[in-house]
Structure 1
Amino acid sequence: MNYLFIHQSFPGQYQHLVIHLAAQPGNRVVFLSHESQNRIDKVERIEYLPYRTPHPSTHHYIREVEQAVIFGQSVYEQALRLKRDGFRPDIIVGHNGWGETLYLKDVWPDVPLLAYFEFFYRFRGADIGFDPDTPVTLNDAPRVRTKNTVNLLGLEAADWGQTPTRWQWSLYPEDARRRISVIHEGIDTAAVRPDPQAWVRLNHLNLSLSAKDEVITYVARNLEPYRGFHVFMRALPEILRRRPKAHVLLVGGDEVSYGPPAPEGHTFRQIMLNQVGRDLDLSRVHFLGRVPYDSFVNILQVSSVHVYLTYPFVLSWSFLEAMSAGCLIVGSATQPVEEVLKDRENGLLVDFFDQKGIADRIDEVLDHPDRMQDLRLRARETVVRNYDLRTVTLPRHLALIEDLIAGRTPQP
């Protein structure tokens, strides 16, 4: 079989899938992406280069649309080259969000296209207007409506869709939901598992931490409001006052993945340290930046309590990985989290903005005789049962692809 994958950040959500497919005898896996240092054995990665960026004079409602068209055109031209070289995929699989899948059916009209639909933007009921720190503006409603242009064009172009959670699926229009399957990318629960012997060393302090210590963890790709960084930082002075032996490990970069950027020349970390830094014992608050994956897993394994906060937005992989590692999660009572985390069943929920509530829940965990071991076990059981890569999500993904190649209509 010939497989064509497209994602600007190789391999994106498709890492586990392409590794599996490329390992099967007789398969050829081609992957179109931007420049990347990542490599996967037996996967042919081909770069596509957008020929320009959106023009500064483009109306700000449609600047992202113009960027998507540029991306889509660049992928289209690279696909034409592949076709001229004799390549014909049996299926095309790609992320819809940046316009990369828009024109592929114009190259191979009879090849099924499975597109990844990550988020349908809503002016009400999701991220917009959720946080008083980011007030709604007069431009937001028309901007958000226009922002779905690529979503809607991608829905028309694709034969079928896939999205990782039921809440993300629920945001799409009803007629679109009939052609979108809910399949998560999956968690490697064999690699991300509890380890009572795990430890983390902070070399700059000559300090080692293990599960015997009070270790409070927070993880995000970037330290930003969409992942509740500002709320967690405002809660920290009270948390540290109550827990004089606790250390706080924060993993994440200083860029912005989602939402408005910090003011020019600043990061959200700097902004929050300016707000609350004088009230923090910074010898116990450790900003680790982005860390290698093995180190990230070790950090989860030594965690006494893991705080995960998010706007009503895309659910982080790290949230499910923390559950798989047996973390006791104090999570925000927002829709993406509530789909998975049930209060006092497999974790603890708290209002996103409730700084005192976050401190109270952390106290509750750290004061518990075994740090709520039964909830930790059920957290891991939840992920193994519903999101395990090898037994749940990969078989579902492969079955969906097989249906599309065979011309069968999948069940949404």
Structure 2
Amino acid sequence: MQTNSLTKPLTKNMGPENVATSLDSYRANGGYRGLRKALRMAPADIVTTVKDGGLRGRGGAGFNTGLKWSFVPAGDDAPPVKYLVCNADEMEPGTFKDRLLMERDPHLLIEGMIIAAYAIGAHTAYIFIRGEYHLATARLENAIAEARQQKLLGSNIDGSDFSLEIHLHRSSGNYICGEETALLNALEGKRALPRAKPPFPQVSGLWGKPTVVNNVETLCNIPHLVDLGIDWYKNLGRGEDAGSKIFGVSGRVRNPGAWELPMGTPIRQIIEHHAGGLCDGLKLKGFLPGGGSTDFLGPQHLDLPMDYDTIGKAGSRMGTGTIIVVDDRTCPVGLVLNLSRFFARESCGWCTPCRDGLPWVVQILQRIERGHGLPEDLELLREQAQRMGPGNTFCALAPGAAAPILSGLDLFEQDFIDHIARGCCPYVVEPEVLEAV
């Protein structure tokens, strides 16, 4: 039974036996109660509740979700056809929270999507899911079928005047689809290229109709926020940001994984308490706080709370809230190279700084890592990464790729210098370290 004392709404159904993968088990634990309440509310009141509750998008940008919904035309003059799209592609390096939600509590996402669609007046919704997420796809397909059979999808949902169909679309797996307009192009069967804005998707999105694109975790927050209210939701957070968040940690820690914690939980608590700290013999050298496209932070930032504004003021982004730990026996040059290779491969090729700049960065980093770097390569790297920065490219892929490069050059500058001076990578991973990972 849900109560106002509920502190982990996103993972309350998750246990070793995956108790909420069926509709019966989900309902037995309070499922679809938020939907029943929502269908008795005016759509505008739901938008206001989500906006005033302070739910910020969990896909990385952190924009107020209710405010985003409010940009969709409403009223008698609004277009009759609107769409809701769930971004379940989850291609950000180091990120795995959405897969957890879809595999282990699929009806939570379905309920959140129904409420969101009702709030914006959409009667068709799509889940744009990563093609490699086979188990999540199977469980969502089953959840959609169960919901349709029990009149929670289709016509006159739960006896109301509202109707909705949800369709599952398997992605071909392009990182660029994390940009919502590129995702919409892909959903339309076109090449996944970002669109010029304005117009924004809330006005002209999928097939030119008003469209809202939300992340999986964002939508999973909706049922509990609507059911238990604004004050409850705000009190979940420890600071300015409301709600809880699924934080993850990967790297050479004793207990890599993901945990639902209050927004504003200190980074040190996430890494040392929940992830168990670094493996024996290793020391923290730095970390990426929110996936591969965020700036490195150092050990001096461990006591910062994980919230959007605090991490932003520290010079990075909270992003997806999944921390990639870098220990003192991991080569930062090799790590930055690995990320840059990924981003270069995932570039859509639409604009020059990204299409040509990223492969050039990869060539320079490869040269340094292989021991053939020159002192002037460091300035060349900085110059090229700055050219890929915000305002110089069509979308945020290249600026995101530039973040670990520029911050890596600042935080790990001596490592880059040592590679060049020694003519080789100075990092040698000891066998016992590998065995401990």
TM-score tier after normalising by the smaller chain length: 0.3 to 0.5
Q: TM-score, normalised by structure 2?
A: 0.33
Q: TM-score, normalised by structure 1?
A: 0.34
Say which structure is richer in strand: 1
Say which structure is richer in helix: 2
